């Protein structure tokens, strides 16, 4: 499932070299090796590091932190909130699209595939990068969080002017990993149907992100994933 040296984009491979050598990552590899013997695990191994491979550390402009991969068949492909083309758009992403439409007028997309965002410098990072089929949260506290926390720290240390979109308490608890003197943090409730009406709708994070990027002389994000 996870090789000794996972196939990961070069700038991430160099910056996360120490994270790959930790005891928690070794334990994670052993755990996953046993998991795949007995259960279906999502996403497929080739997509576990998709967020890193589509968004090199050297290109990161925005970070959106999720919690777990989707646990339904064919949904997870290594990007937070995203699903492959042809897969039904999950409820949280539907609400993200509603806010996107209300904020900057983009028509509601027909695809849930956010690879276009990732290729523009949006790191779509789940805190946990795998899950047992049909069992949400089943791979939490197995070592992934330590690894992805290291990735967030690397963005904070090695980049500047990055916009972190922290939606919901789980993502907001990661704020302590971010140097807020050199980065921008925008917070809102999670886009889940259970909380979107408590302040996610109306947060205008998409236009605010582009305004920050524009002020820093960077290309704005084309938020249309199609």
Residues classed as catalytic: 68
Which tokens hold the place of 209?
């992100």
Residue with tokens 């790959």: 20
Phi, psi of 77, rounded to the nearest 5 degrees: -140, 30
Q: What is the 3-state secondary structure (H, E, C) of 39-87?
A: CCEECCHHHCCHHHHHCCHHHCCEEEEECCCCCCCCCCCCCCCCCCCCC
Q: CA dihedral in degrees (155, 18, 24, 8; nearest 10)?
A: 70
């Amino acid at each position: 499932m996870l090789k000794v040296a996972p196939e990961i984009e070069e700038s991430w491979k160099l910056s996360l070299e120490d994270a790959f050598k930790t005891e928690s990552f070794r334990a994670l590899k052993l755990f996953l090796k046993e998991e795949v013997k007995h259960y279906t695990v999502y996403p497929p191994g080739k997509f576990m590091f998709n967020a890193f491979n589509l968004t090199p550390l050297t290109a990161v402009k925005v970070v959106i932190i999720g919690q777990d991969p989707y646990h339904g068949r064919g949904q997870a492909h290594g990007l937070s909130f995203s699903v492959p083309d042809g897969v039904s758009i999950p409820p949280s992403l539907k609400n993200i699209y509603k806010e996107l439409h209300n904020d900057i007028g983009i028509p509601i997309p027909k695809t849930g595939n956010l690879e276009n965002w990732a290729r523009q410098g949006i790191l779509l990072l789940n805190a946990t990068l795998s899950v047992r089929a049909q069992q949400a949260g089943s791979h939490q506290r197995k070592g992934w969080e330590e690894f992805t926390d290291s990735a967030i720290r690397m963005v904070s240390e090695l980049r500047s002017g990055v916009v972190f979109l922290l939606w919901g308490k789980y993502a907001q608890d990661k704020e302590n990993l971010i140097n807020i003197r050199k980065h921008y943090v925008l917070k809102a409730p999670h886009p889940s149907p259970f909380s979107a009406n408590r302040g996610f709708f109306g947060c205008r994070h998409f236009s605010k992100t582009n305004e920050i990027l524009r002020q820093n002389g960077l290309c704005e994000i084309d938020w249309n994933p199609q």
